Amino acid sequence: MVYLNIVCAVIASLLGFVFLCSLRRQKKARAHQNGNCLKSCENGTCDDAKMVESADIIVVGAGVVGSALAYTLGKDGRRVHVIERDLSEPDRIVGELLQPGGYLRLVELGLEDCVNEIDAQRVFGYALYKDGKSTKLPYPLENFHPDVAGRSFHHGRFIQRMREKASSLPNVRLEQGTVTSLLEEKGTVKGVQYKSKGSDLELNAHAPLTIVCDGCYSNLRHSLCNPKVDIPSCFVGLVLENCQLPYANHGHVILADPSPILFYPISSTEIRCLVDVPGQKVPSISGGEMSHYLKTKVAPQVPPELYAAFMAAADKGNIKSMPNRSMPAAPRPTPGVLLMGDAVNMRHPLTGGGMTVALSDIVVLRNLLRPLHNLNDATALCKYLESFYTLRKPVASTINTLAGALYRVFCASPDPARMEMRQACFDYLSLGGVFSNGPLALLSGLNPQPLSLVLHFFAVAVYAIGRLLLPFPCPKRMWIGARLVLGASGIIFPIINSEGVRQMFFPVTVASYYRTPPIN
């Protein structure tokens, strides 16, 4: 028995020794492989770039789209590598109002708790002001859960909550770094080249699919789409303290001269004010011209309840400005990469629809990717994902068109026909019932139907003509009415044309609408 134990011990020792030697050889082989230089995708020769462990999907940018997308894809089991230029809390004057339709998408993605614990305020509708008169426009929320409403908050707090949510998943990796270029091989994007924070070493990250969502200042979009950026105006932002809005938990829109002024709560003690300044240049903030402009031009048009706080905020001087961009989506499908968010599509932020579009896009993409277990066939995947840009169109183009059209209508103009249209829009919405519920359902993202948008837009024009011609039409009024119809058509049809008539109204006639998942 003793000899048997000795023999067994010797055999076990020999087997262990062989196993350890095998492990050592494998470790050396891996070290040798990792020590070899990486072949550049551009020229096929060795360079000094360091290879980063590959993922299923690389996400460039960790703003609203990138963070929500990383969590959504990570929750579906994908290995996601997110590269964000700056992971500190952002400080922006837009992206602070999430419409009810956007909140519903947040719930659908499992991210609704990201508006908790950031002092977010519930928003139930709008108050519209013109020439000292006001009208209350509630969201049509009667058929929804009591928790469904808009949310307004500090943009940076919301972003940090979503980043925390995404990074809580073990298969999602958030890294701070600057993406310098896409890695391409024979027309197919294989990943990205970037520099990690605090290092000059260029790293290469590879994945079967790269999703670029690096925002309105994207430096990667030019190779992936045909950007036609328009900057109709700038927002000047300041924060009001120690005051209450005339209509609690409502956004306030003042139809001022020359263009709208917005107020909405961003915390329990702060109210955001956004002053629209037409054009691409604003008075100097550092030189004091902006403060003077706000106090002399804007303040007299502010509701009396907010006047003192507005003047105090202008005197305080914590004023920021940001260009308002609009850009129709015009992607160039490229194997291995997808463009999302403000990098591919922007609209005027007057209606606060940007996050609703972004979150709706994520739902569309999630549903498209769910049937796919393998993303490695870049050509087949690219052809399949062309359907993403078609499927997103009805919602995105409706919100985009509404934002552009409302901005044009809400701006003051020396043209009597345009001013009549502006007054008619205010009066039409003031009628309440179906006349306000329909437009508010569009604006809130609860029912973004393109046909409903066109019908209500021209209903306002017909209402304006009726006001002009009753009780007694005259040649002058008839001429103004004719110009009003032409002006309304000149506002909405160019926007619809840039969005794409077929994709917006008849997406089922587009071939990519019927794309089926590639067979893996």
Instruction: With CA atoms as reference, report the closest residue to 96 among 308, 336, 267, 331.
Output: 267
Residue-level pLDDT at 481: 93
Residues 269, 108, 81, 65: what is their CA dihedral angle, to the nearest 10 degrees? -50
Residue 374: CB atoms within 10 Å: 12
Helix (H, G, I), strand (E, B) or coil at 191: strand
Residue-level pLDDT at 28: 41
Cis peptide before 448 (omega within 30 of 0): no
Q: Are 93 and 320 in contact (CB under 8 A)?
A: yes
How many whole angstroms separate alpha carbon 297 and alpha carbon 293? 5
* Residue found by looking up tokens 């306002």 in the block: 460
Strand order in the sheet with 97-98: 97-98, 150-152, 121-123
Helix (H, G, I), strand (E, B) or coil at 343: helix
Residue-level pLDDT at 52: 64
Q: Are 55 and 205 in contact (CB under 8 A)?
A: yes
Kind and range of the H or E run holding 367: helix 354-369
Largest CA distance in the chain: 122
Helix (H, G, I), strand (E, B) or coil at 237: strand
Helix (H, G, I), strand (E, B) or coil at 499: helix
Q: Are 174 and 52 in contact (CB under 8 A)?
A: no
Q: Are 377 and 341 in contact (CB under 8 A)?
A: no
Helix (H, G, I), strand (E, B) or coil at 268: coil
Contacts of 415 (CB under 8 A, 6+ apart): 483, 487
Residue-level pLDDT at 50: 57
Residue-level pLDDT at 54: 80
Residue-level pLDDT at 175: 96
How many whole angstroms separate alpha carbon 259 and alpha carbon 247? 21
* Residue found by looking up tokens 């599509």 in the block: 345
Cα three-residue angle 330-453-129, rounded to 5 degrees: 110
Residue 194, both tokens: 């970037």
Residue-level pLDDT at 155: 98
Spacing of C-alpha 62 from chain mean position: 12
Residues 99, 103, 104, 106: what is their CA dihedral angle, to the nearest 10 degrees? 140
Burial of 425 (0-12, 13-18, 19+ CB in 10 A): buried
Strand order in the sheet with 133-138: 133-138, 125-130, 251-254, 261-265, 270-278, 230-241, 320-326
pLDDT digits (tens, 9 = 90+) for 502-514: 999 999 999 999 9
Angle between the N-to-C axes of helices 393-410 and 354-369, in degrees from 0 to 180, rounded to the nearest 10:
170
Residue-level pLDDT at 520: 64
- 87 DSSP assignment: -
Residue-level pLDDT at 51: 54
Contacts of 356 (CB under 8 A, 6+ apart): 98, 99, 101, 102, 105, 395, 399, 445
Instruction: Report CA torsion sign: 211, 216, 219, 224.
Output: positive
Spans of the chain below 50 pLDDT: 1-48
Spacing of C-alpha 434 from chain mean position: 29
Residues 110, 116, 122, 123: what is their CA dihedral angle, to the nearest 10 degrees? -50
How many whole angstroms separate alpha carbon 281 and alpha carbon 277? 8
pLDDT digits (tens, 9 = 90+) for 184-196: 999 999 999 999 9
Residue 31, both tokens: 């070290």
* Residue found by looking up tokens 């770039």 in the block: 49
How many whole angstroms separate alpha carbon 349 and alpha carbon 402? 11
Domains of the chain in sequence order? 57-118+153-228+329-376 (3.50.50.60), 231-326 (3.30.70), 401-507 (no CATH)
End-to-end CA distance of the chain: 58
Arithmetic mean of pLDDT over the chain: 90
How many whole angstroms separate alpha carbon 467 and alpha carbon 431? 14
How many whole angstroms separate alpha carbon 480 and alpha carbon 478? 5
Q: What are phi and psi of 365, to 5 degrees?
A: -65, -40
Predicted TM-score of the model (pTM)? 0.89
